[in-house]
Copies of this chain bind each other. A is one copy, B any other.
Amino acid sequence: MARTLTLSFSCPDASGIVAEVSTFIANHKGWITEASQHTEHELSRFFMRVEIKAESLDFPAADFSQHFSPIAKKFSMDWKLSDSAKPKRVVILCSKQEHCLYDLLARHVAQDFPFVIPCVISNHEDHRKIVEAHGLPFHFIPVTDENKSEAYRKMDAIFVKEKADLIVLARYMQVLDAELCHKFAGKILNIHHSFLPSFAGAKPYHQAHKKGVKLIGATCHFVTAELDEGPIVEQDVIRVDHSESPEDMAHLGKDIEKIVLARGLRAVVEDRVLPAGHKTVVFR
Protein backbone atom coordinates (compact mmCIF):
# COMPACT_ATOMS: atom_id res chain seq x y z
CA MET A 1 0.00 0.00 0.00
CA ALA A 2 1.36 3.39 -1.02
CA ARG A 3 1.63 6.06 1.68
CA THR A 4 -1.43 8.30 1.71
CA LEU A 5 -2.38 11.55 3.41
CA THR A 6 -6.01 11.90 4.39
CA LEU A 7 -7.41 15.39 4.75
CA SER A 8 -10.76 15.63 6.47
CA PHE A 9 -12.59 18.72 7.58
CA SER A 10 -15.89 20.42 8.20
CA CYS A 11 -16.61 24.13 7.94
CA PRO A 12 -19.50 26.54 7.52
CA ASP A 13 -21.07 25.89 4.14
CA ALA A 14 -19.96 28.30 1.43
CA SER A 15 -19.47 28.47 -2.30
CA GLY A 16 -16.19 27.37 -3.86
CA ILE A 17 -14.77 25.15 -1.12
CA VAL A 18 -14.28 22.10 -3.33
CA ALA A 19 -12.85 24.26 -6.09
CA GLU A 20 -10.30 25.80 -3.77
CA VAL A 21 -9.28 22.56 -2.10
CA SER A 22 -9.02 20.60 -5.33
CA THR A 23 -7.16 23.41 -7.07
CA PHE A 24 -4.70 23.57 -4.16
CA ILE A 25 -4.08 19.85 -4.47
CA ALA A 26 -3.82 19.95 -8.27
CA ASN A 27 -1.39 22.87 -8.16
CA HIS A 28 0.84 20.81 -5.92
CA LYS A 29 0.61 17.79 -8.26
CA GLY A 30 -1.40 15.85 -5.69
CA TRP A 31 -2.99 12.60 -6.90
CA ILE A 32 -6.39 12.20 -5.30
CA THR A 33 -7.31 8.54 -4.77
CA GLU A 34 -10.66 9.13 -3.09
CA ALA A 35 -12.84 12.13 -2.33
CA SER A 36 -16.21 12.56 -0.63
CA GLN A 37 -18.25 15.54 0.43
CA HIS A 38 -21.50 16.32 2.19
CA THR A 39 -23.53 19.31 3.28
CA GLU A 40 -25.46 18.99 6.54
CA HIS A 41 -28.27 21.43 5.90
CA GLU A 42 -29.54 21.63 9.49
CA LEU A 43 -26.07 22.81 10.53
CA SER A 44 -25.27 24.74 7.32
CA ARG A 45 -22.02 22.88 7.49
CA PHE A 46 -19.87 21.31 4.78
CA PHE A 47 -17.88 18.10 5.26
CA MET A 48 -15.11 16.74 3.08
CA ARG A 49 -12.57 13.93 3.05
CA VAL A 50 -9.77 13.60 0.49
CA GLU A 51 -7.14 10.88 0.21
CA ILE A 52 -3.92 11.90 -1.57
CA LYS A 53 -0.91 9.82 -2.57
CA ALA A 54 1.81 11.24 -0.34
CA GLU A 55 4.61 10.94 -2.87
CA SER A 56 2.66 12.72 -5.58
CA LEU A 57 2.82 16.10 -3.82
CA ASP A 58 5.56 18.56 -4.72
CA PHE A 59 6.33 19.13 -1.03
CA PRO A 60 7.14 16.72 1.81
CA ALA A 61 4.18 15.24 3.68
CA ALA A 62 5.38 16.98 6.81
CA ASP A 63 4.83 20.39 5.18
CA PHE A 64 1.18 19.80 4.23
CA SER A 65 -0.22 21.70 7.20
CA GLN A 66 1.89 24.73 6.56
CA HIS A 67 0.80 24.89 2.92
CA PHE A 68 -2.86 24.17 3.60
CA SER A 69 -3.30 26.46 6.63
CA PRO A 70 -4.34 29.57 4.68
CA ILE A 71 -7.24 27.74 3.03
CA ALA A 72 -8.26 26.15 6.32
CA LYS A 73 -8.25 29.57 7.91
CA LYS A 74 -10.16 31.24 5.07
CA PHE A 75 -13.07 28.79 5.43
CA SER A 76 -12.82 28.41 9.25
CA MET A 77 -12.25 24.69 8.85
CA ASP A 78 -12.18 22.22 11.71
CA TRP A 79 -9.61 20.02 9.98
CA LYS A 80 -7.31 17.07 10.44
CA LEU A 81 -4.56 15.43 8.41
CA SER A 82 -3.72 11.75 8.85
CA ASP A 83 -0.66 10.03 7.50
CA SER A 84 -0.91 6.32 6.69
CA ALA A 85 2.70 6.05 7.80
CA LYS A 86 1.52 6.74 11.35
CA PRO A 87 -1.27 4.20 11.99
CA LYS A 88 -3.74 4.97 14.78
CA ARG A 89 -3.04 3.60 18.24
CA VAL A 90 -6.08 1.71 19.53
CA VAL A 91 -6.27 0.58 23.15
CA ILE A 92 -8.76 -2.27 23.62
CA LEU A 93 -10.79 -2.74 26.80
CA CYS A 94 -12.45 -6.10 27.22
CA SER A 95 -14.15 -8.15 29.88
CA LYS A 96 -15.03 -11.85 29.92
CA GLN A 97 -16.63 -12.10 26.48
CA GLU A 98 -14.18 -13.08 23.80
CA HIS A 99 -15.77 -12.42 20.39
CA CYS A 100 -14.94 -8.75 19.81
CA LEU A 101 -11.43 -9.14 21.18
CA TYR A 102 -10.60 -12.13 18.96
CA ASP A 103 -12.10 -10.38 15.98
CA LEU A 104 -9.97 -7.27 16.51
CA LEU A 105 -6.83 -9.32 17.15
CA ALA A 106 -7.37 -11.19 13.88
CA ARG A 107 -7.77 -7.91 11.99
CA HIS A 108 -4.66 -6.56 13.71
CA VAL A 109 -2.64 -9.62 12.67
CA ALA A 110 -3.83 -9.28 9.07
CA GLN A 111 -3.69 -5.47 9.11
CA ASP A 112 -7.07 -5.45 7.36
CA PHE A 113 -6.94 -1.75 8.08
CA PRO A 114 -3.91 0.04 9.50
CA PHE A 115 -3.95 0.20 13.30
CA VAL A 116 -1.67 -0.56 16.20
CA ILE A 117 -2.76 -2.10 19.52
CA PRO A 118 -0.42 -0.70 22.18
CA CYS A 119 -2.10 -2.81 24.88
CA VAL A 120 -5.25 -4.55 26.06
CA ILE A 121 -6.90 -3.73 29.39
CA SER A 122 -9.37 -6.02 31.12
CA ASN A 123 -11.14 -6.36 34.45
CA HIS A 124 -10.72 -10.12 34.16
CA GLU A 125 -7.69 -12.34 33.62
CA ASP A 126 -9.43 -14.65 31.13
CA HIS A 127 -7.82 -13.41 27.94
CA ARG A 128 -4.28 -12.72 29.12
CA LYS A 129 -2.81 -15.75 27.34
CA ILE A 130 -4.29 -15.03 23.92
CA VAL A 131 -3.33 -11.36 24.11
CA GLU A 132 0.23 -12.12 25.17
CA ALA A 133 0.55 -14.77 22.45
CA HIS A 134 0.37 -11.78 20.07
CA GLY A 135 3.21 -10.07 21.90
CA LEU A 136 0.84 -7.42 23.24
CA PRO A 137 0.86 -6.13 26.84
CA PHE A 138 -2.17 -7.14 28.92
CA HIS A 139 -3.20 -5.00 31.89
CA PHE A 140 -5.47 -6.55 34.49
CA ILE A 141 -7.35 -3.75 36.21
CA PRO A 142 -10.20 -5.09 38.33
CA VAL A 143 -13.10 -2.69 38.81
CA THR A 144 -15.25 -2.87 41.93
CA ASP A 145 -17.69 -0.45 43.49
CA GLU A 146 -14.97 0.54 45.95
CA ASN A 147 -11.96 0.99 43.66
CA LYS A 148 -13.79 2.33 40.60
CA SER A 149 -12.33 5.81 40.57
CA GLU A 150 -8.83 4.55 41.27
CA ALA A 151 -9.16 1.95 38.49
CA TYR A 152 -10.24 4.56 35.98
CA ARG A 153 -7.34 6.82 36.91
CA LYS A 154 -5.00 3.90 36.23
CA MET A 155 -6.55 3.45 32.80
CA ASP A 156 -6.35 7.16 32.15
CA ALA A 157 -2.62 7.01 32.84
CA ILE A 158 -2.23 4.10 30.43
CA PHE A 159 -4.20 5.89 27.68
CA VAL A 160 -1.92 8.90 28.04
CA LYS A 161 1.28 6.92 28.29
CA GLU A 162 0.38 4.80 25.27
CA LYS A 163 -0.61 7.88 23.26
CA ALA A 164 -3.97 6.27 22.47
CA ASP A 165 -5.72 7.76 19.46
CA LEU A 166 -8.72 5.59 20.17
CA ILE A 167 -10.12 3.49 23.00
CA VAL A 168 -12.39 0.62 22.05
CA LEU A 169 -14.84 -0.94 24.51
CA ALA A 170 -14.94 -4.44 23.07
CA ARG A 171 -17.96 -5.61 25.14
CA TYR A 172 -16.29 -4.05 28.20
CA MET A 173 -19.09 -4.40 30.71
CA GLN A 174 -18.22 -1.40 32.90
CA VAL A 175 -19.56 2.12 32.47
CA LEU A 176 -16.66 4.56 32.25
CA ASP A 177 -16.91 7.54 34.56
CA ALA A 178 -17.70 11.06 33.38
CA GLU A 179 -14.10 12.19 33.82
CA LEU A 180 -12.81 9.62 31.30
CA CYS A 181 -15.71 10.34 28.93
CA HIS A 182 -14.93 14.02 28.87
CA LYS A 183 -11.15 13.76 28.74
CA PHE A 184 -11.26 11.36 25.80
CA ALA A 185 -14.37 12.73 24.11
CA GLY A 186 -14.60 11.63 20.49
CA LYS A 187 -11.96 8.96 21.09
CA ILE A 188 -13.94 6.21 22.83
CA LEU A 189 -15.92 3.73 20.73
CA ASN A 190 -18.42 1.33 22.26
CA ILE A 191 -20.44 -1.56 20.88
CA HIS A 192 -23.93 -1.78 22.32
CA HIS A 193 -25.85 -4.98 21.79
CA SER A 194 -29.09 -3.48 20.51
CA PHE A 195 -30.34 -1.39 17.63
CA LEU A 196 -30.27 1.96 19.42
CA PRO A 197 -32.29 3.93 20.37
CA SER A 198 -34.25 0.76 21.22
CA PHE A 199 -33.15 -1.14 24.29
CA ALA A 200 -30.48 1.14 25.74
CA GLY A 201 -29.07 0.19 29.13
CA ALA A 202 -28.83 -3.22 30.73
CA LYS A 203 -29.80 -6.59 29.25
CA PRO A 204 -30.89 -5.42 25.79
CA TYR A 205 -31.45 -8.98 24.52
CA HIS A 206 -33.86 -9.61 27.38
CA GLN A 207 -35.63 -6.36 26.51
CA ALA A 208 -35.78 -7.40 22.84
CA HIS A 209 -37.12 -10.82 23.73
CA LYS A 210 -39.77 -9.33 25.99
CA LYS A 211 -40.91 -6.96 23.26
CA GLY A 212 -41.05 -9.72 20.64
CA VAL A 213 -39.06 -7.91 17.93
CA LYS A 214 -38.27 -9.88 14.78
CA LEU A 215 -34.77 -8.46 14.31
CA ILE A 216 -32.02 -7.82 16.85
CA GLY A 217 -29.24 -5.32 16.35
CA ALA A 218 -25.92 -3.90 17.40
CA THR A 219 -24.76 -0.30 17.47
CA CYS A 220 -21.24 1.11 17.42
CA HIS A 221 -21.22 4.61 18.89
CA PHE A 222 -18.96 7.18 20.48
CA VAL A 223 -19.10 7.18 24.24
CA THR A 224 -20.37 10.26 26.03
CA ALA A 225 -21.22 10.76 29.68
CA GLU A 226 -24.83 9.84 28.92
CA LEU A 227 -25.14 6.06 28.73
CA ASP A 228 -25.74 4.70 25.18
CA GLU A 229 -26.56 8.19 23.90
CA GLY A 230 -23.37 9.11 22.01
CA PRO A 231 -23.26 9.67 18.22
CA ILE A 232 -23.96 6.50 16.25
CA VAL A 233 -21.24 5.33 13.83
CA GLU A 234 -22.53 2.00 12.53
CA GLN A 235 -25.42 -0.42 13.05
CA ASP A 236 -26.68 -3.72 11.76
CA VAL A 237 -29.33 -6.31 12.52
CA ILE A 238 -30.06 -10.02 12.14
CA ARG A 239 -33.32 -11.90 12.01
CA VAL A 240 -34.69 -13.79 15.01
CA ASP A 241 -38.06 -15.37 15.68
CA HIS A 242 -40.22 -16.63 18.50
CA SER A 243 -38.03 -19.68 19.00
CA GLU A 244 -35.02 -17.75 20.24
CA SER A 245 -34.59 -17.27 23.97
CA PRO A 246 -32.70 -14.21 25.30
CA GLU A 247 -29.70 -16.53 25.64
CA ASP A 248 -30.01 -17.62 21.99
CA MET A 249 -30.19 -13.96 20.98
CA ALA A 250 -27.07 -13.24 22.99
CA HIS A 251 -25.26 -16.00 21.09
CA LEU A 252 -26.52 -14.95 17.67
CA GLY A 253 -25.97 -11.29 18.43
CA LYS A 254 -22.24 -11.79 18.92
CA ASP A 255 -21.85 -12.14 15.16
CA ILE A 256 -23.17 -8.68 14.45
CA GLU A 257 -21.62 -7.10 17.53
CA LYS A 258 -18.12 -7.93 16.38
CA ILE A 259 -18.72 -7.06 12.74
CA VAL A 260 -20.43 -3.75 13.54
CA LEU A 261 -17.69 -2.78 16.00
CA ALA A 262 -14.99 -3.61 13.46
CA ARG A 263 -16.71 -1.69 10.68
CA GLY A 264 -17.15 1.29 12.98
CA LEU A 265 -13.55 1.14 14.13
CA ARG A 266 -12.29 0.84 10.59
CA ALA A 267 -14.27 3.89 9.51
CA VAL A 268 -12.91 5.93 12.42
CA VAL A 269 -9.33 4.71 11.87
CA GLU A 270 -9.56 5.69 8.22
CA ASP A 271 -10.90 9.16 9.13
CA ARG A 272 -14.20 8.46 7.44
CA VAL A 273 -16.18 9.53 10.51
CA LEU A 274 -16.69 13.25 11.11
CA PRO A 275 -18.70 14.52 14.06
CA ALA A 276 -21.78 16.49 13.08
CA GLY A 277 -23.49 17.73 16.23
CA HIS A 278 -24.83 14.68 18.05
CA LYS A 279 -24.68 12.68 14.80
CA THR A 280 -21.89 11.52 12.52
CA VAL A 281 -21.04 11.85 8.85
CA VAL A 282 -19.56 8.51 7.76
CA PHE A 283 -17.98 8.61 4.30
CA ARG A 284 -17.93 5.22 2.61
Residues of A participating in the B interface, judged by any CB pair closer than 8 Å: 15-16, 18-20, 22-23, 25-27, 29, 31-35, 37-41, 97-99, 101-103, 105-106, 109-110, 112-113, 129-130, 132-134, 195-199, 211-215, 217, 231-237, 241-243, 245, 251, 254-255, 259, 262, 276, 278-282, 284
Question: Which of these, B113, B134, B211, B234, contacts A214 with CB under 8 Å?
Answer: B234
Chain B residues with CB under 8 A of A25: 19
- Whether B110 pairs with A106 at a CB distance below 8 angstroms is no
Since A103-B103, A198-B198 are in contact, a sample of 17 more A-B pairs with Cβ atoms closer than 8 Å, ordered by chain A residue number, is A18-B32, A20-B26, A34-B243, A38-B242, A40-B242, A99-B110, A101-B106, A102-B105, A130-B134, A195-B195, A214-B235, A215-B235, A215-B236, A242-B276, A242-B282, A255-B262, A259-B259
Chain B residues with CB under 8 A of A103: 102-103, 106
Chain B residues with CB under 8 A of A214: 232-235, 282
Residue of B with least CB distance to A111: B251
- Whether A211 pairs with B235 at a CB distance below 8 angstroms is no
Residue of B with least CB distance to A197: B198
- Whether B15 pairs with A35 at a CB distance below 8 angstroms is no
Residue of B with least CB distance to A229: B211
Chain B residues with CB under 8 A of A211: 197, 232, 279
